[in-house]
Each structure stands twice: as structure tokens, then as C-alpha cells.
Amino acid sequence: MTAQTHKQFAISWAYLGGILIYTLRASNINYYLVLILLLSIAKIGALFPDVDHVWKNVKEKTTINWLINKFIHLTGGKHRSWQTHSWDICIISILACYFLNNYLYSKDIISNINFEIVSIITTGFNLGWASHLFSDMLTSEGVRLICFINYKVALVPRFANRLKLILVASLFIATGIITIIVGVIFGVLLVAIGLTILYMAIKLGNIKFNTGNEWEAFVYKFAKTANIILGLTALLYPKLITLDLYGYANQFIININK
């Protein structure tokens, strides 16, 4: 995926991260300030993995990125290198940030407010990084799960024709409807996925799942539209969480089954 698409995914993950932090009461910082920080830093984190490009193609030409870029290429790296495009390295970064920040706080090296701010900044950066890996898995090239194993995992095939997409969409929709009928709300998500795949089949037809073609254009528009919904949800979330939406949904399903 290109930089603009990665930024859209970073925005999505930042919204979801902010909602999760608020739900878990994981920060004492004002919820909306947390959202602003996450949105700003996640977009930086989303571009970070592509620092493994040749230097002229790196978007953010900072001194730190130059040093990282040189290290990657001196150790044999190239674009989608194991250094920045492996899930285990990303997870190590998440754990390192968490434990280092907690260690500094426990030793009174940083104050409570600094601990909170650094936690949000590192969370935003790692959310952006993780969103980058996820969006690259939506191309046929995929990314590595483990850095030292030269095997990449993708969530899509190299190619799919319209008939196959319609069959997959029908399977998701049918499974989702059955799941809803038996009283499991998760079925709504399955139906939504099925309808999305069906729309793809109608809109795009035969698809090559690689970067920079009609597939990425579709993903970009879809993510941008989703971010409008996620953004409104995130803004209203403190109010929405006080409503018994789960109870309303269950009652709706019960009424359907009567």
C-alpha cells in the first residue's frame, strides 16, 4: 500500500485505540486529548516501516530515519524488509516501550504525567506501525510473521475473479444471517463483510491484489469512508457508552425470533 492508504489505516487504528483506552480507563489524560495525540503520532508510526525504501523514496527525511535507513541497508534490508515488516519485531517494540516506560516510572526517573504522555505517544506510534503491517497484508505480497523466517503472510490471494468473490460473499452473508437468527450479534459483522465483498465483485470484477491499482483505490476509499463513521463514533463514544446498546440489540434479535 502507498503512504496515503497507510495513513487512513493509521487513523482507523488510532480511533479504535482511543476508544479502547477510554473503555479500560487506561489513562487519566482527557479522552479527547488522547485522541488528538494518537491520531497525530499514529500517522508517523504508519510511515515508519517504509523507512526501508531506498533513501530518495523515504517520505520523512529526518536524521533518525536516515540512520535507521542506513542500518537496514547495511544489514541487507530492502523494501518490506524483516527489520520493519515483521509482526514479531513490531510486538517487540510494543513490549519494549511498555516495560521501559514502566521501569522509568517505577525508578522515579519520570513523573506520573510524563509516564502518561509517553505511554500515549508510544501507543500511537505502535498502533500506526501495526496498522501499516495489517494494510500490507491486504496485498498479495504480505508481510512476515517472524523476522528470521522468509515466509510472508497475506490476507488476500494474488488474484480473484468475480464469480469467486460472489461465492465468498454469499457464504459470509448466509453464515451471518444464520448466526443472527440463532441470537449471536457477531453475525451482523459477517453480513457486513459479505456485503462488502459482494460490492467489490460488482464494482471491480476481476481483482489483482497488489499495490497501486484499482484494488488499492478501493481500499483507500473504503478506509476513508470507514474513518468518517469511526470518527463520529469516537467523538460521541463517552455518551454512547452510557447507553445499553447491547441490551437494545439483544432485544431486537429476540423480537425478530418471536
Considering only CA atoms, which of 29, 27, 11, 24 is closest in space to residue 241?
24
Give the cell for residue 96.
519494549
Do the beta carbons of residue 88 and residue 147 sit within 8 Å?
yes
- As beta bridge partners, residue 48 has none
DSSP 148: T
Q: What's the CA dihedral at 104, 105, 106, 112 to 10 degrees?
A: 170
228 vs 253, which has greater pLDDT?
A: 228
Give the cell for residue 233.
463514533
Q: With bands split at pLDDT 50, 70 and 90, how would you rate the model's confidence at 46? A: very high
Do the beta carbons of residue 175 and residue 184 sit within 8 Å?
no
Q: With bands split at pLDDT 50, 70 and 90, how would you rate the model's confidence at 253? A: low
The pLDDT of residue 69: 85
Alpha helices in 107-244 (DSSP H): 112-136, 162-181, 187-204, 214-240
DSSP 81: -
The pLDDT of residue 249: 58
Q: For the segment 66-104, what is each residue's pLDDT rounded down to a tens digit?
A: 888 888 888 777 778 888 899 999 999 999 999 999 999
DSSP 149: S
Q: For the segment 170-213, what is each residue's pLDDT rounded down to a tens digit?
A: 999 999 898 888 777 778 888 888 998 888 888 888 888 888 88
- Average pLDDT score, the chain: 88
C-alpha to C-alpha distance for 211 and 68, rounded to whole angstroms: 24
- For the chain, what are the domain ranges? 3-153, 159-257
The pLDDT of residue 149: 87
C-alpha to C-alpha distance for 84 and 49, rounded to whole angstroms: 5
- Percent of the chain whose pLDDT exceeds 70: 94
Lowest mean pLDDT among 73-77, 92-96, 109-113, 229-233: 73-77
Considering only CA atoms, which of 130, 99, 101 is closest in space to residue 117?
101
Give the cell for residue 11.
487513523
